[in-house]
Structure 1
Amino acid sequence: MGLSSADTATEAIQLCIFDLRRGQQEGQELDKILFFFPADFPFSRQLSVIGLSEGLITFTRIFSPEVACEVIEADRHTHVFYEAEPDIWMVMIVEKNESEAIWRVDALQKVLKEIHSLFLMFHGSIRALLEKEPAGGLIRSHLYPFIIDYLRDFLFGKKLLLPSFRDCLKERGTVQMLTVSREAAIEVQSLVRLLEGSAGNKPCYSLILFQDLLVSTTLSPVDTISLFTYSILRLTPHALSSGVSSWSYLRKGSTASHVATGSILTHSASVLEQVYGSQDTSHGVDDNYHVARPLQQDRWSKGNDGFLVTDLWGAENGSSTPAAPTIWLQQTEERMYLSAYQYKSLTLILLVPVASILNGDQGVSLVKQQVHENASLKMLKVEEILSKGWGGENAYHVSGYRYLLVDGDRSVSRSSPPGKVTTLTKESLLVLSKVREEVDLEKGQMVGVNAGLEKDLEICIRAKNNAWVIARITKGKEVYMVLERANDTLLYASEAVEKFSNRYCNGAFSLD
């Protein structure tokens, strides 16, 4: 599109949230700004960025009234859009690298979606908070620290590293399942019954993880994804021991992205201080509101009884005892107490409705006691069985293949271990990223034009380094693969995919 970036701010990344229903009267334009990063941008520049975004949204609706604007490519910037809630937009503006495009728009949009889904889980909807306090102070006091805490996971040294082409064998918004034996599955189900029975007659839900993989869930798919994401960000043994999220696209071994962050990073310390600690409310943060900050790093620890503890939710009224953590379920719109228990590599999460516990945190302590008494022996047995069947970090490595499997209907993915992916050349990863862009475009067109219809798709490309890059999509399932073997033919590549499909995917991607 022939859009000029001249009026766009020159910093490498901006992220904003605004409400199209607000600030429509002259002199009230600032009301529409709910969040802006970098927070030290002058309001005139914030309004300029949001005004441009609002204009693009309005303009594109003329040609596509049913499908929201998702991306606008300008001369020097990519504008990524996500309508998180009706008329509430999240926009990320990323400066383009002069030599190559290093990110996928879909991956950046999923960062925005992840921010919103996590915010919903902890604070409820943005619109509900606006209706509760129309002046906007309440929602801003929640959004600013929450998103800044989230972005800390992307800060490496003095660089803010976004998902790049090197992460094209990962998929946000999905869970990674642990494959278990029949014996283990029976024991896990027995443990689930004990866990949920520990709450007495109170309706509750549970989620069980081993390492960073999902073993069992009784939650809806949308709530499972949100809680799974948070668990591996802050709760699993890896997250607790390393002090960093285990769901980062930038895990050990990944090569740094080339996205420069300009003055964002130069002034990052002062910006964060302004957002967190200052009494100045010029950035929209009001210290009169008590706000839980569940995404702060290094604030969960393992207690002597095996339950994880934190003071992120503040203290109980009139005491110094930390308040019990709570979350909101999107499926049922219930507020739930969150209790997490950890034994070695096993993490168990029990959710009990706040409304069903009359005496608050004291009642939560009683439920924990019941869990410990009723299920501790079963936890030990399940952890032992899962450990015996676990193949370690490279358990899902397939020799000769670097792959990503995605089941879109179930929101489940599996991929080659990160350490194996780093053995791929830059050329292979760039080509795979381009292939994924093509698939994203095809899927987007299907949503917009032929919603509900499925389309089979296969792409095979020989890269300049003689690697084969392959994508196959069929019946809601996707496989992406890199075969770095020189001088092999297309027939060999096709047969390699067939062998992989038959052995590891029950023939889901076979052409027969």
Structure 2
Amino acid sequence: MAQKQPSKLSLRNFFVYNVNYGDTEGKEEEKILFFHPRETNIDVQMREVGLSEAIVKFTENFDEAPCDALHSQKTRKLFLQPEKDFWMIMTLNVPYGPKSTEVMEGSDYLGHEVETDVYRSVLTQAYSTARLFVGPFQAVLDSQNGDTALLVKKLDHFFKRYLLGLRLRDCDILTVFDGIQFLPLDKTTFLRCQCFVNLVEASFPLVAHSVLIYNNSLVWSGLNPDDAKVVFRYVSSNLLPSHLKANYLAHRTTSNNSPRIARFVTGPDCLIDLVYSDKTPKVYLGNVTQPSFFHLIVYKVVDLVLCLFVPSKETLKLELYRQLDAFLHTRMTELDVEINSYRKTVNDPPEAPDTRWVYFNTTNLATKDMLRDKKKGPQSDALVRALVKLHQNHVRLMKEGNSSSETYLRTSTDHWIIGRMSNFRQFYILIEKKKLSLHEVDDAVKKLSETQLRGIFFPT
């Protein structure tokens, strides 16, 4: 019998269904709102949905909390009920390979390499991003008097692109945090940024909310943190990279590409034509005074990016974009220079070559890390998984009412993992240097806390 070839973690299927549909015999497929892979036979789709419904109902007999994961030898199935009667299911193929990298003990399914919390966060982010563009699923159904056709179309349009960009093997504890990277500034520079945003909103009354980003770090946000993290993740991870790639290709194919147009990441193709193609997307903000859709205008000058949210009921005319371009360009150029000048005066603390760390503030979702630093080389998957387990322990302690904790772990590979929690702030450290005593590790942790998180993290 041929030995099964090694494989990596991969997406087996992903689907969305509503339990209130498909009750009539012969029309069971009506409850399926989206299914990936799209070419899957309808009988297989119905079988997967039926199995998921059965698992959810079975687990209700044992716990009031809804089922969130099912572990099997070959797969890991994640469950999410994002809205009443709606379920999102993601099934992963568990990687297959050698049991040990040190001793050849044959091959097996490596379920221990799949951290459930990490991929539950992946599923949660999939919903929050879909909601950003589709809106609440139930609201779409209500707008169509219960007809699912429009929701099916919207979900298909969104997920067929979104799922292509999933990098499951790159997910780690930062995926669990789903936080925001803030840009540290001095008071004067930050006040300058805040005054600029206030001036924009005062000069353009149509603008309801604003977000200012510099070099993939958040400078200022007028949104609730839950909305801000979704917008920030989309703009920094999807929109800006796509825009830069498109501009690069445009410059290679033609020398007439106007930098003036390139400054609008979302907006018109041209500021001159009377008839223009507007590429401004509409996004849903659910944590504002009146939850609704907004036009998302994104304007970029060098490293500074301004996101403007205009109520969707407003008609965006070409003259508005012209006025924005005339108003923003010079001011944002000057502000970019000011921020860049300040950043050059800041001396980053020296980094220990064998140390990685990550900080997370639960209250404002702020993250700071040196976990994926390419200069330090590839990170150890086993150590990163250990970080997730340590975080799970901190979450459990917080639920039990413990706001402070400190844990030192020494792994079988002679590495150290340290976790500190205080006042909803968490700090995790990986020390990859071997043969260190507990005293040496404690000194390294104190030094790192002092240099990296001075004024932020207060150990007990």
Smaller-chain TM-score bracket = 0.7 to 0.9
2:38 maps to 1:39: yes
Distance across 2 between alignment mates of 1:242 and 1:471: 39
Q: 1:456 to 1:56 in 2, by over 3 A?
A: farther
Structure 1: gaps of 5 or more residues? 1-10, 155-160, 245-300, 313-317
Q: Secondary structure at the match of 1:418?
A: coil
Among residues 468, 471, 475, which one is paired with 2:419 in the alignment?
Answer: 471
The alignment status of 1:350 with 2:361, answered yes or no, reads: no
Task: Please give the per-residue CA displacement for 1:137-183, whole angstroms capped at 9, x wherever unaligned.
Answer: 111111112112112223xxxxxx41457x44555521111111222
* Map of 1:265 onto structure 2: none
1:217 aligns with 2:224: no
Mean CA deviation greater in 130-139 or 141-150:
130-139
Residue correspondence of structure 1 range 176-325 to structure 2 within 5 A:
176-200=181-205, 202=206, 204-236=208-240, 238-242=241-245, 303-304=260-261, 306-309=263-266, 321-322=277-278, 324-325=280-281
Q: Deviations over 1:349-376 (max 9, x none)?
A: 1112233x3xx121xx444344334443
Other-structure match for 1:96? 94
Using the alignment, how far apart are the partners of 1:177 and 1:74 within structure 2? 39
Q: Which amino acid in 1 is paired with 2:244?
A: S
**Hey, what does 2:107 align to over in structure 1?**
none
How far, CA to CA, are the matches of 2:76 and 2:209 in structure 1?
A: 41
Aligned: 1:457 with 2:405: yes
Following TM superposition, by how much is the alpha carbon of 1:37 offset from its aligned partner in structure 2, in angstroms? Answer: 0.9
Q: Deviation of residue 224 (structure 1)?
A: 0.7
Q: Note the aligned Cα RMSD (angstroms).
A: 3.0
Contact 1:307 1:342 in 2 (8 A): yes
Bigger relative contact order, structure 1 or 2 (CA pairs below 8 A, ≥6 apart): 1
Distance in 2 separating the partners of 1:412 and 1:199:
30
Paired with 2:165 and 2:227, the residues of 1 have a C-alpha distance of 22
Task: Tell me whether 1:115 sits opposite 2:126 in the alignment.
Answer: yes
Q: CA deviation at 1:95?
A: 1.7
Residue by residue over 1:366-397, the C-alpha shift from the partner in whole angstroms, topping out at 9 and shown as x without a partner, is: 443443344433212210022123369x9687
Q: Secondary structure at the match of 2:428?
A: strand
Distance 1:186 1:508, change over 3 A: closer
Query: Contact 1:323 / 1:361 at 8 angstroms: preserved in 2?
Result: no
- Kindly tell me: are residues 436 and 350 of structure 1, through their superposed partners in 2, closer, same or farther at Cα, counting changes over 3 Å? same
Match among 157, 160, 163 for residue 151 of structure 1? 163
Q: Distance in 1 between matches of 2:296 and 2:411?
A: 48
Residue 243 (structure 1) shift: 6.3
1:79 corresponds to which residue?
77
Q: Offset of 1:86 from its aligned partner? A: 1.3
Native 8 Å contact 1:396 1:415 kept in 2: no
Question: What is the deviation of 1:111?
Answer: 1.6
Matched position secondary structure for 1:488: coil
Instruction: For residue 88 of structure 1, report the CA deviation from its aligned partner.
Output: 0.9
- 2 CA distance for matches of 1:396 and 1:47? 56
**Counterpart code for 2:157:** P
The 2-side partners of 1:23 and 1:444 are apart by 39
Contact 2:122 2:175 in 1 (8 A): no
Is 2:426 the counterpart of 1:415? Answer: no
- Distance, in Å, in 2 between the alignment partners of 1:385 and 1:147 is 40
SS at structure 1 position matched to 2:61: helix
Aligned to 2:332: 379
Question: Match for residue 316 of structure 2?
Answer: 361
SS in 2 for 1:62: coil
Residue identity (%)? 21
How much has 1:215 moved relative to structure 2?
0.8
Contact 2:405 2:421 in 1 (8 A): yes
For 2:259 and 2:121, how far apart are their aligned partners in 1? 31
Check the 8 A contact 2:212/2:221 in 1, yes or no.
yes
Residue equivalent to 1:491 = 439
Give the structure 1 partner of residue 351 of structure 2: 398
**In structure 2, what is the equivalent of residue 341 of structure 1?**
299
Aligned residue for 2:391?
439
Deviates more, 1:170-179 or 1:186-195: 170-179
2:286 paired with 1:330: yes
Contact conserved, 1:456 with 1:475, CA < 8 A, in 2? yes
Q: Which amino acid aligns with 2:47?
A: S
Q: Do 1:104 and 1:164's aligned partners in 2 also have CA atoms closer than 8 Å? A: no
User: How far 1:431 moved relative to its partner?
Assistant: 2.9
Counterpart-to-counterpart distance in 1, 2:207 and 2:266: 23
Structure 2 SS opposite 1:399? coil
Question: Following the alignment from structure 1 to structure 2, what is the Cα–Cα distance between the partners of residues 13 and 311?
Answer: 39
For the 8 Å contact 1:199–1:367, the answer to whether it is kept is no
Cα deviation for residue 483 of structure 1 reads: 0.9
Pair 1:38–1:509, CA change in 2 (3 A):
same
Shift of 1:59: 1.7
- Asked whether the 8 Å contact 1:340–1:348 carries over to 2, the reply is yes
In 2, Cα distance between the equivalents of 1:93 and 1:310?
37
Matched-pair contact (CA < 8 Å) for 2:214–2:303 = yes
Question: Is the 1:171–1:413 contact (alpha carbons within 8 Å) kept by the matching residues of 2?
Answer: no
Normalization by structure 2: what TM-score? 0.82
Q: Residues 397 and 138 of structure 1: is their aligned pair in 2 closer, same or farther, counting only changes over 3 Å?
A: farther
